[in-house]
Amino acid sequence: MRQVNSAAGAAANLGRSAARGLFGGFKNRVAGAAIASLKLWSILLLGGVVFVLAVVAAPVLIVVLAMTVGVSHGIPLDVPALAAPPGPPLAPGELACPVPGATITQAWGPSDLPGEPAMFGYAHFHTGIDLGVAAGMPIRAAEPGQVVQAAAQTDDLGMLVGYGNLVRIQASSGRIDYYGHLSAFAVQRGDVVQTGQVVGFVGSTGYSTGPHVHFEVRVDGTPVNPAPYLRPC
């Protein structure tokens, strides 16, 4: 009888040990699965947060960068801020169209673009006229003169800003003509050019939203509207 009881006790102990091992292993597997699932969800959540931040923040950062590195024609070029524009010493039809076939995509005058400089009593003012035409088209001198600048406008990071690739020509009258956003130059500083001579090629460098030429005329450092004196394009 004692042997039977001893055997029964041993069997009971063995059963309890087996049960503890079985349920202990199951418990460990459940805990491990829960931890792995928690890690997975944490990774997915973190990835989602990073994605949302990238989508939302990237455009904001791009706009801020564009505004801080120098935009439009707000880069100082010895432009006085006057209360009213003076009358330019130009005659109708005196200036040849720099890019025949172009259309005016932005006129001279007050602007809504935040990158334009404050001038003539306006918060933002477009200091020239934009002549829209296909990229790569030749840009021709509107009048004879000497090239005083044929260089890129860059910021401290070496990025093209403002007028981008800019050619400035001083006419015999003393006024200075600007040709901005060029893709390439055809002249260099010191060159003497004649009306109709190619000075560069149409591009979209600097602060620009598409291929065009920013044509600007300054008299004694002050921008004047060239449109009334420009021959039809």
In a domain, 107, yes or no: yes
d(C-alpha 141, C-alpha 97), whole Å: 8
Task: Give the pLDDT confidence score for residue 136 in this predicted structure.
Answer: 97
Task: Give the pLDDT confidence score for residue 84 in this predicted structure.
Answer: 37
Measured in whole angstroms, how far is the alpha carbon of residue 42 from the centre of its chain?
A: 36
In a domain, 179, yes or no: yes
Phi first, then psi, for residue 230 (nearest 5°) are -95, 135
**Do the beta carbons of residue 160 and residue 208 sit within 8 Å?**
no
Tokens of 212: 């065009």
Task: Give the pLDDT confidence score for residue 54 in this predicted structure.
Answer: 52
d(C-alpha 10, C-alpha 16), whole Å: 10
Give the CATH number for residue 220: 2.70.70.10
| pTM reported for the whole predicted model | 0.65
In a domain, 81, yes or no: no
In a domain, 92, yes or no: no
In a domain, 221, yes or no: yes
Task: Give the pLDDT confidence score for residue 51 in this predicted structure.
Answer: 53
What is the residue type of 101?
G
User: Could you write out the three-class secondary structure of the chain?
Assistant: CHHHHHHHHHHHHHHHHHHHHHHHHHHHHHHHHHHHHHHHHHHHHHHHHHHHHHHHHHHHHHHHHHHHCCCCCCCCCCCCCCCCCCCCCCCCCCECCCCCCCEEEECCEECCCCCCCCECCECCEECCEEEECCCCCEEECCCCEEEEEEEEEECCCCCEEEEEEEEEEEECCCCEEEEEEECEECCCCCCEECCCCEEEECECCCCCCCCEEEEEEEECCEEECCHHHECCC
Task: Give the pLDDT confidence score for residue 23 in this predicted structure.
Answer: 46
Tokens of 232: 């039809």
Residue tagged 């088209």 (tokens): 137
In a domain, 21, yes or no: no
Tell me the sheet residues that pair with 167.
150, 179
Residue of 108, 107, 129, 127 whose CA lies nearest to 119 = 127
Query: Edge-to-edge strand order for the sheet containing 198-201?
Result: 138-140, 198-201, 184-185
**Do the beta carbons of residue 72 and residue 211 sit within 8 Å?**
no
Task: Give the pLDDT confidence score for residue 153 in this predicted structure.
Answer: 94
State which residues of the chain have pLDDT below 50: 1-5, 7-8, 11, 14, 18-19, 22-23, 26, 30, 49-50, 52-53, 56-87
Task: Give the pLDDT confidence score for residue 91 in this predicted structure.
Answer: 79
Task: Give the pLDDT confidence score for residue 105 in this predicted structure.
Answer: 95
How many independent structural domains does the chain possess? Answer: 1
Domain of residue 162: give its range: 103-229
d(C-alpha 127, C-alpha 116), whole Å: 8
Task: Give the pLDDT confidence score for residue 116 in this predicted structure.
Answer: 82
In a domain, 217, yes or no: yes
In a domain, 129, yes or no: yes
